[in-house]
Structure 1
Amino acid sequence: MTVTAKQSQSYMYDLPRLPGWVFDRAPRASPGVGLSDEAIYSSDENYSVRRLGRSSETLLVAFQVGVEFEVSFGARRIALTHAAPHLPENTIRHLLIDQLVPRVIAQLGSLVVHASAVKVGNKAALFLGDTGQGKSTLAASFMMAGHELICDDALCVEWSAQKPVAAPVFQDLRLNSDSIESIFPNAPATTTVAHYSSKRHVAVAPDICADEGPFPIASIFMLAPAATGPTRVDRLVGGEACMALVQHSFLLDPQDIQNAAKRLKHCEAIAQSIGVFKVSYKKQFAKLPELRNSILTCLKTH
């Protein structure tokens, strides 16, 4: 049975990678009631942000599907302030954990990249790319070939002993039905991600998932599907590698100039420290073994 927002007042969630933060539900009668002196901006990802007072540490994040969260950095609190009637609870959880939490972590100063990742040896191979370019499918393919899954969507990149390491914001696997049918010989248990998404949560056995890390990063691969031609792996250098990382990182408040400068500095340091590669390939399930082999060859030779 689908649980709607109206029925789910007792649903509470832990906030991954946000120690000391709490989540609660503090509904308003309607979105935005009682707000004043707001700096307003919209993103290209179907949500908008309002600052409650121009010097406030509280942001109101509203998603177009009808969900609104209040993020208080001073109180270390995320509150659900509005949810459209009859909205499924899994949609609220998806927006909170998968969409908002990585952006809050990034706003606190960490570099959070939109990536899937698997363990190759004792290191992490990261796969970055725009939505729909095959990050999750590739990670699942590596997993079924014997490599532990680190994460499907969001990674914190930090520094340890002057080298970059990665840790998952949350461990999850979400795939479209055609990917599930092509990759898994036996149909796994799945659940809905959100009412507006065609992807499904895939139940993954703990023994084929990595721990929470962090893991040294071996290399980063930017996925770039091509209509024709063989699979190619080419190294990105200098500003091109740095900007690829910036492009595929999470942010919450683009008006925060200090945070943006710190994010750019992090990406520059990573691009100078490890290999960042562009992977051109035909996006076909039959090509996944060739794609894996090309990436593994690159990891052995760089």
Structure 2
Amino acid sequence: MHYYSTYDLIVESEFQLPELPTVEPETATIDVAIRSAEVEPVPDSEGGTGRRRIQAEPGICRLSYDSIGSFLIKNGAQILFDPDHDGIIEKKITRRLIESEILGVLCHQRGLLVLHASAVSVDGKGAVFLGDRGAGKSTTAAAFYTGGNGLFEDDVVGIRFDHEGPVVLPGVPQLRLDPQAAEALGITDTVRYEDDWGPNKCYHATGNAPAPAPLAGCYILQEDEGLTIEQCTGQEAFVSLVSQTYAHGLLADTQTERDHFQQCSEIVETAQIRRIKRPKNFERIPELIEQVTEDVKTC
């Protein structure tokens, strides 16, 4: 078995997941088990997007991916994987699915707010970046990382609700970037995988992830000619959080809509929700980092 830490959980996995931080099994209390097992594929008649089909109910979710296999996620504690063929678990795309979509669903089952976002540590607090696809969430997080800030996540952000308030959790210590963005930011230690899916991306391991940190604010990225940070209204902030929910399509089937909306409302009440308007070029990144850092200090 292999033992890892992610989202402040200890994972015991039958498969190697080298992107995740390892832990010593002697001191580990297992939160999540990942195993190989027979999983009934999701029928073709079920809805899905692209190569994925999904079927969910409270505490249980099945996902089937063409040419990869089927996953069963149970009660936020168990992930079963039935591979389509031998050797597929060793492919980068399979590990990426486990470390993003599958763990994202598992975190949702455990009661976390899971956002399609990136997050960094700034002044000991969590800053989360939201936006539409292509808005620059990963690039913005990478810019903060190169400036000396710890990376929580660049794709699937998990937020836990403690007595003290929302807490940002460390996910996968890895950046997935457009090669041109990595070059512009001076990130040279990157790897590209031929067995990956989607757009041409390169990967960079960021090393040790920061410890869980209180959420300071969420920043919605928007392209503009100037560089400004504006406060969002309560309704605008709430809608932005709901729209960036990672498990948005599962809320009704898993009967978690009410809890989810309460979580979004709590973040609106306890954290700053800002809109960052900035040009999508690299010349003003130092200014952006400075402004966000100063803003986080006031939260």
Tell me the TM-score normalized by structure 1: 0.78
User: What SS does the corresponding residue of 1:258 show, helix, strand or coil?
Assistant: coil
Larger radius of gyration: 1
1:231 to 227, 233, 241: 227
Deviation sequence 1:22-65 (CA, Å, 0-9, x none): 2223367xx83xx78x98332x57522135xxx785432023x5
The equivalent residue for 1:6 is none
Structure 2 residue matching 1:190: 3-state secondary structure = coil
User: SS at 1:40's partner residue?
Assistant: coil
Instruction: Determine the C-alpha separation between the residues in 2 that align with 1:220 and 1:262.
Output: 19
1:278 aligns with 2:275: yes
Other-structure match for 2:244: 248
Letter in 2 for 1:98: S
Match of 1:129 in 2: 131
1:91 deviates by 0.8
Identity between Structure 1 and Structure 2 (%): 22
Deviation (angstroms), 1:259: 0.7
Equivalence for 1:293? 290
Work out whether residues 190 and 203 of structure 1, in 8 Å CA contact, stay in contact via their aligned partners in 2. Answer: no
Q: Report SS of the residue matched to 1:173.
A: strand
Structure 2 partner of 1:221: 219
Match of 1:49 in 2: 54
CA contact (8 A) 1:15 1:21 kept: no
Note the alpha carbon deviations across 1:231-273, whole angstroms, 9 max, x for none: 1211112121112111112216233363121111100011011
Structure 1 counterpart of 2:61: 59
Deviation at 1:119, TM superposition (A): 1.8
Aligned with residue 95 of structure 1, among 94, 97, 100 = 97
Count residues in correspondence: 276
Q: Say whether residues 1:24 and 2:35 are aligned partners.
A: yes
1-side partners of 2:253 and 2:129: how far apart? 27
In the alignment, the residues of structure 2 paired with residue 138 and residue 75 of structure 1 have an alpha-carbon distance, to the nearest angstrom, of 30
**Counterpart residue type for residue 166 of structure 2:** P
Write the distance in 2 (CA, Å) between the matches of 1:289 and 1:75: 40
- Structure 2 unmatched ranges of 5 or more: 1-13, 22-28
Structure 1 residue 225: deviation in Å? 1.9
CA contact (8 A) 2:157 2:168 kept: yes
